[in-house]
Structure 1
């Protein structure tokens, strides 16, 4: 993350304008706070996709036809406002002030945007090549500058993924970043296709990857439900159990094994949490969907080489000795 704090106050606004032009798109920007502009930015390349984080003081930006003619990265840019609010107008659409939702704009058309009021805004922005999105531009034009709810359906899954990229993307290796970029493109395509009724324009591979991400998100949100099972997952996604099992077979792990592994990982995290030393082991197990304490203990030992109590004790001892908390001695993570 780079910050305007490292730039002399008189140069901060010009610095921010240059960062936006280089990393997003050229615009004309004005602000009542230009004399001591506060902003920060971070950019991460994911192959053909880029994810950016921006935080900045109230302003108004305008991209004109002249800007488009002189410099156009030919991208769709999808913004998620995580705090504060902003608005954008393009293609005769106007989002109005919004926060917490998504909005799409096209760098190949003029637009205006702004941050109303006095509070700064923070946003995560996904930049996608227009040619990489397998949707007809004339159909995508229908949703430019229109709010996409990020609290349900594909919008919620895409927004969660964008937040995760912004928070943890820099921890990943280059090869992993390219894979993350492919998933981001699939999710964005699926989300937009659903908005314009163009799911048939997506490739089978893209639809499958987006479906698997949706299934993974559903499983993650329901790990604490002891009734979660492959049949429930299949029913929730309107598919046969056989089709679901075939999708997971290509990953090399069954649906049931995935649920069990992710539950055990959550239990392991809680047992290693120094803020939960007094929470009984059986309570941790129940929290993540294990209703039989003896079965949970056996699965945990088989997976990590130590019982839940032994693991928790070893982690506490390592922490007390000043070591980095980790797996119990002799355990395999």
Structure 2
């Protein structure tokens, strides 16, 4: 997982358009681009690569970008672009359709098929890229491709808001977060598209898959709470404890074991933090749900093979 940002102000004026085109062709997809603003080209792009999924925010002046058969033959990533204007409008010519897409709507583009995107005024838009293979093969995608689809207040809005929040908080994610976040984004895209494609079964399946990331987030935010337990987690999500345990069992873990693992990981992080060097070891354990120093020391050593004190001395 990595985050990359680029603004044309970083290079001299005569190189800005060429640098931006090169950056976007590598980070996004290859297109033939033309603009009347070559001499005064101001644009920016931010890309969050989660592995299977990529989220981007791009802003640029009026231009025309064409995805040609020649470029597709040269490089075909087999992905869908879910594009949401945040400012301005996009004119999309794709799959024999013409779509005028503004804020409050999104449009789906197949990178394996030719198309043209035009904006006559400056625009900023969010792009969520997902592998075409992640969508059910049985779907009749023709009903959703290259059409302005309303974001609305439901799953479409959730998809957009989640993707924007991931971009804003990208620096806070660790290397291991990419895969989990990618799964969340794919499920949100599936749910958002399923309603327009008339696939109610996919909505239910994706909704079930989205439950576990919400549960994990709930646990993560409440690790210091000594009352955190399977029953508390289940009640917060309106499910039974038995069903909660089943969700975790499918991933090869238990609810209690996951809570314990995450608490110990937070303790380990604090023990190697120089700014917390003056805080007693037992206080760090108590902060993350281990009020008994002896039990904390035993659990930490069992998990990491060394006592909390020895771990701190070896990492500060």
- Superposed counterparts of 1:210-221, under 5 Å: 210-221=210-221
- Superposed counterparts of 1:200-279, under 5 Å: 200-202=201-203, 204=205, 206-279=206-279
Aligned to 1:324: none
Aligned to 2:20: 16
Aligned CA RMSD, in angstroms, stands at 4.7
Q: Does 1:51 align with 2:54?
A: yes
Task: Give the Cα–Cα distance (whole angstroms) in 2 for the partners of residues 94 and 40 of structure 1.
Answer: 19
Task: Give the Cα–Cα distance (whole angstroms) in 1 for the partners of residues 233 and 148 of structure 2.
Answer: 31
Residues 195 and 203 of structure 2 are in contact (CA less than 8 Å); yes or no, is this contact kept in structure 1?
A: no
Residues 94 and 146 of structure 1 are in contact (CA less than 8 Å); yes or no, is this contact kept in structure 2?
A: no
Task: Give the Cα–Cα distance (whole angstroms) in 2 for the partners of residues 288 and 31 of structure 1.
Answer: 58
The verdict on how the C-alpha distance between 1:240 and 1:149 changes in structure 2, with shifts beyond 3 A counting, is closer
Is there any run of 5+ residues in structure 1 with no aligned partner, and where?
Answer: 97-102, 317-333
Task: Give the Cα–Cα distance (whole angstroms) in 1 for the partners of residues 241 and 68 of structure 2.
Answer: 52
Task: Give the Cα–Cα distance (whole angstroms) in 1 for the partners of residues 53 and 49 of structure 2.
Answer: 6
Task: Give the Cα–Cα distance (whole angstroms) in 2 for the partners of residues 290 and 79 of structure 1.
Answer: 46
Aligned to 1:185: 186
The verdict on how the C-alpha distance between 1:165 and 1:59 changes in structure 2, with shifts beyond 3 A counting, is same
Is there any run of 5+ residues in structure 2 with no aligned partner, and where?
Answer: 92-98
> How many residue pairs end up in the alignment?
290
Task: Give the Cα–Cα distance (whole angstroms) in 1 for the partners of residues 296 and 159 of structure 2.
Answer: 33
Which secondary structure does the structure 2 equivalent of 1:225 belong to?
Answer: coil
Q: After superposition, give the CA deviation of every residue in 1:90-133 in whole Å (9 maximum; x if it has no partner).
A: 6455217xxxxxx74322676555656xxxx7x87431255643
More strand by share: 2
Task: Give the Cα–Cα distance (whole angstroms) in 1 for the partners of residues 87 and 251 of structure 2.
Answer: 40
Q: After superposition, give the CA deviation of every residue in 1:31-54 in whole Å (9 maximum; x if it has no partner).
A: 7574465656668584xx452556
TM-score when scaled to structure 1?
Answer: 0.63
Shift of 1:211: 2.6
Aligned to 1:144: 149
Q: After superposition, give the CA deviation of every residue in 1:255-297 in whole Å (9 maximum; x if it has no partner).
A: 1100110111011101111122123334433432334444323
Shift of 1:223: 1.9
Task: Give the Cα–Cα distance (whole angstroms) in 1 for the partners of residues 232 and 197 of structure 2.
Answer: 29
Task: Give the Cα–Cα distance (whole angstroms) in 2 for the partners of residues 228 and 187 of structure 1.
Answer: 28
